[in-house]
Structure 1
Amino acid sequence: MTMPPTKFSRQLFALFTVTFFRWLVGPCEVVEREFGGHMERNVVHITKCRVLEGTKCIGICTNMCKMPCQSFIKESLGMPINIVPNFDEMSCEMVFGEDPPPESSDPAFSAPCYERC
């Protein structure tokens, strides 16, 4: 079942994520951002990503989390999502309703590996 990307569904996806996936992704909260000219609560801010913290590997983040999650959520649930990692802080933002940039221009793929990688 897919939901059309409306303000209600974008905010519902964000609320669902922080309610049911905190154990998987780490501490997180819904934050309000400008979207399409108005404010929405469609962004999940993960303050300390468990994938990055546990693996300390940018490649695992981008190839085993970011890309598969973006594809699954869009293809299976009909919701565009852009997952934006912050490798310096090991945090992440999930922006529901926003298409990700092409891999060739996505800043996440130009980040260098951590020293221990």
Structure 2
Amino acid sequence: MGYRIGQKITGTVTGIQPYGVFVSLDATVQGLIHISECGHGFVKALDEQFTVGQVLEVLVLDIDEYTHKISLSLRALDRGQDLVPQRTKKHYWTNRRIHIGFAPIAQRLPQWTKEAIEDLNKGENA
């Protein structure tokens, strides 16, 4: 296998699954473009974007030396999108007024300590 990480390769789509697209790189080597590497942002349905037999230029992201699986990316080659993340306001959905912290542990600690001491005493008496 003569492929390297970071290498641009042309391959042919051989299969489409909900989680990714299988691409034949040559007669014996096949790679996978995971759905997260098919494009920027939300990717709705891969079977609407790709067809079996379609020729794609992909980038080698990773090669597992043990299993010889190759991870591919289209997203890394897409220069049409702005690759700098846009600042967005973060929304926190938790209730910030509740501060539990270590309270549950503090409530159970006396019982745990008592049980541990009992277990130790049982071991000494055996």
The normalised TM-score by structure 2 is 0.25
The normalised TM-score by structure 1 is 0.27
Bigger Rg over Cα: 2
Higher relative contact order (CA 8 A, sep 6+): 1
- Structure with the bigger percentage of helix: 1
